[in-house]
Chain A
């Protein structure tokens, strides 16, 4: 049986990627993802992981090498963050449209300028529409578990889509926590070998990444949309199977103290754990508050979100990214779209915060909830507010 050990989340991800018997890692180091790829390089160099480690010259090359690797039928992992994720941006579209299940950890980081190596969700939100399955995790154990699940979801024959496992840079990636890393043998019972149906092979030549004239491009895009939509069932099923074997269950939309809650806070990522302590505190004071966390960002769980927030009076959405000149945060934009046609829906209030690594404490979330309730009753001159910004 696997032991529960104190380990940095980044190193735990590397260890579990190795335990998933990855064939190829192509990555370029960038803060705060560095420890993941450094440790994978160590494991390969020390002979503990029998894999090809490709030290590429940029993130664009990293993702390109990953495409080639998956196309040849190899289980492939990479990791990036911030500017690095943006540098691989165009190749991300190719991975999903070509149905190449690259698995990537993203240690979410702010995007320049001003230069910030610290965490927020600006990087992943800029890659929202690249067609990847996108998961958010809240602690080290979830990062490990969902990395294993990502391989199984992404590589499933009816899915074949790249998967991004998002974890907050520093706040989570550099945290030392007690984590259970399943043994190789346990994982191999859960995760079947990767079997890509149309690999590049001289015996049966195929052409990948061809061009499509206008007469066929729409059909190719619709096929992609149906594909990621249908992947939803497999994602749910994978989490269920994981829970049955390992005893830890995951949902596309996670709920905390939502029973009878009139005000709901909605978060994504590791700040959710701080938000939970705020909810505990307010509940003790007799306030009817609860927390909803989106774990599955793409494909977006419309139905589950509606079910989770539909009966609340006020829904306060906390975004760790700003859509400059837009509706505030990308998450609130999605949430509002999901609720627009509902006959009964909560009053949605938007906050942006935790930008570029700034902490939001338990007291901070309590302030956000109080202020959110005020805005819900009295309105606000602004479409959204940045929590804690000095005016």
Chain B
């Protein structure tokens, strides 16, 4: 990863602010937009993956147990996964961090 954006000076910016490293949006921490975060009760989870399909950020991945979990580096806390989950595994709670 390149240096954090708050350490960039004007001299570090490429001409015309052109981005020369394709795909570097992966470094963009959209997780800090979050005001709510998902909490899971996996006892009910049927491992259908509907939450991952609906996630607009594409940040929900299946873990070793087969459950679907959001990557908090990217999760914006939109709550679509909680709305779409057919068995109410996910509830949105206030982000305090």
Contacts and interface: CB of A to CB of B under 8 A. Distances in A.
* B and A form one assembly: yes
Contact of A160 (B8, B16, B20): B16
B18 interface: yes
B17 A98 contact: yes
Contacts of B12: 219
Contacts of A219: 8-10, 12-13
Contacts of B15: 99, 160, 197-198
A205 B18 contact: no
A99 B19 CA distance: 13
Contacts of A100: 16
A220 interface: yes
Contact of B16 (A208, A222, A226): A208
A205 B21 CA distance: 8
Contacts of B20: 198, 204, 206
B95 interface: no
Nearest to A205: B22
B63 interface: no
Contact of B5 (A207, A213, A223): A213
A97 interface: yes
Nearest to A98: B16
Interface residues of B, number: 16
Interface string B1-38: 00001101111111111111010000000000000000
A307 B19 CA distance: 42
A303 interface: no
Contacts of B13: 216, 219-220, 223
Interface of B: 5-6, 8-20, 22
B65 to A, nearest CB: 36
Interface string A173-215: 0000000000000000000000001100000111110101101
A210 B5 contact: no
Q: Which of B8, B17, B20 has the largest count of A CB atoms less than 10 A from its CB? A: B17
Interface string A154-167: 00000010000000
Given A213-B5, A215-B5, A220 B19 contact: no
Interface in A38-57: none
Contact of A206 (B6, B8, B10, B19): B19
Contacts of B11: 223
A208 B9 CA distance: 19
Contact of A208 (B5, B6, B8, B18): B18
Given A215-B5, A219-B10, A223-B10, A207 B16 contact: no
A197 B5 CA distance: 24
B71 to A, nearest CB: 20
Nearest to A227: B15
Contacts of A226: 10
Nearest to A222: B10
Contact of B17 (A160, A204, A215, A220): A220
Contacts of A205: 22
Contacts of B14: 198
Q: Which of A100, A207, A226 has the largest count of B CB atoms less than 10 A from its CB? A: A207
A220 B10 contact: yes
A223 B10 CA distance: 5
26 contacts: A98-B16, A98-B18, A99-B15, A99-B18, A100-B16, A160-B15, A160-B16, A198-B16, A198-B18, A206-B18, A206-B19, A206-B20, A207-B22, A208-B19, A210-B19, A212-B17, A213-B5, A215-B5, A215-B6, A215-B8, A216-B5, A219-B12, A220-B17, A222-B10, A223-B11, A226-B10
